Amino acid sequence: MNKKAVVLVNLGTPEAPTTVKVREYLETFLSDRRVIKMPPALWQPILQTMILPHRPQKSAKLYQQIWTKDGSPLLLYAKTQQKLLQKRLPNYRVEIAMSYSHPRISETMDKLLQDGIDDITVLPLYPQYSGTTVGSIFDEVSDYFRGTDKIVDLHFIHSFYQEPAYIDYYAQKIRQRLQETPVDALLFSYHGLPKSYATDGDPYPQECRETTELIMQRVGNVKYFQTFQSKFGPGEWLKPATDTTLKGLPHRGYKKIMVIAPSFVADCLETLQELEIENKGYFMTHGGEQFIYLPPFNGDPQFADLLAELVAKKS
């Protein structure tokens, strides 16, 4: 009989909000050639001499603002979703894996193969495809199996930005929240990407646009903006930027806003710290009156329903 597994893959997280652990995590993350496309001979000296000596300390302080008593929110939510999905898929073994922290993709694969699993569905926890995230997971999974004698049936899911269950979830949450607290506008903030990656063919910005449009078709007639956040490094990134936009909105008359981050399936540094603390600060100090942050799925059982549906359709 087939022994099947689903592996939920997300980015990863430092093991602790300390300079040492954040440095370890950032070095792994920023050495991925899908993430930083500069040739390593150019990039590694910059990373080692200009970034790793300073950024981990700064970053660790930000992680401390969002850390829970049980650890990193991203990992906690991944584990909750794993348990919830496991209940919905009794014929599958459900595991998690992280691109840049433990359990690494190779560690999870080792475990599954040792247990005789012969059918693996890899489900990256990114609704929109980007080479920097989903593509990088594909490379790591295929690296794992290339040249080995232990290949299994493999299913690789590349995105779910337009899945009705995903769109409906957001549309419903937004409508519900708007009934409780009307706002002047919605702001969809997606994780950003260097502009050149998109010019070179990464379909990410288009998938983000389609997600926003599909959600808004169901939300109805409300003013909305779409922006990109989390710019890193000196190059040009996708625009408009979340921070610049938020600083300008109050002056344009949008003083009460609701912020949605549909490219994240769980809260993490980029939402809890960057959106809810940093960007909320920009907005409020520039004349904003109300900043409502609508969290992503996190531990919501409805997300496990969505994942179960995806697996049923695509594995």
Q: Which residues carry a binding-site annotation?
A: 191, 270
In the complex, the smallest distance separating the C-beta of residue 242 from a second copy, rounded to whole angstroms, is 24
Find out whether 118 and 152 touch, Cβ atoms under 8 Å: yes
Find out whether 65 and 277 touch, Cβ atoms under 8 Å: yes
Task: Please count the residues of the chain.
Answer: 315
Q: Which two tokens stand for residue 76?
A: 């906690």
Query: Cβ closer to a second copy: 4 or 23?
Result: 4
Query: Cβ closer to a second copy: 203 or 287?
Result: 203
3-state secondary structure of 222: coil
Query: Cβ closer to a second copy: 249 or 310?
Result: 310
Alpha-carbon gap, residue 293 to 246, rounded angstroms: 13
CB atoms < 10 A from the CB of 48, how many?
Answer: 12
**Radius of gyration from C-alpha coordinates of the chain:** 20
Query: In this structure, what DSSP letter does residue 1 have?
Result: -
Alpha-carbon gap, residue 9 to 12, rounded angstroms: 9
In the complex, the smallest distance separating the C-beta of residue 276 from a second copy, rounded to whole angstroms, is 31
Query: Cβ closer to a second copy: 135 or 248?
Result: 135
Alpha-carbon gap, residue 72 to 160, rounded angstroms: 25
Query: Cβ closer to a second copy: 132 or 189?
Result: 132
In the complex, the smallest distance separating the C-beta of residue 302 from a second copy, rounded to whole angstroms, is 22
Find out whether 223 and 185 touch, Cβ atoms under 8 Å: yes
In the complex, the smallest distance separating the C-beta of residue 139 from a second copy, rounded to whole angstroms, is 5
Binding-site annotation: residue ranges for Fe(2+): 191, 270
Q: Give CA separation, 101 vs 47, 75, 142, 227, 289, in Å.
A: 19, 10, 18, 28, 39
Query: Cβ closer to a second copy: 152 or 219?
Result: 152
In the complex, the smallest distance separating the C-beta of residue 42 from a second copy, rounded to whole angstroms, is 18
Task: Provide the Cα torsion 55, 56, 59, 61; round to 10°.
Answer: -120
Alpha-carbon gap, residue 150 to 118, rounded angstroms: 9
Query: Cβ closer to a second copy: 197 or 254?
Result: 197
The contact set with a second copy (CB under 8 A) reads 34, 118-119, 129, 131, 134-135, 138-139, 142, 145-158, 197, 200-203, 314-315
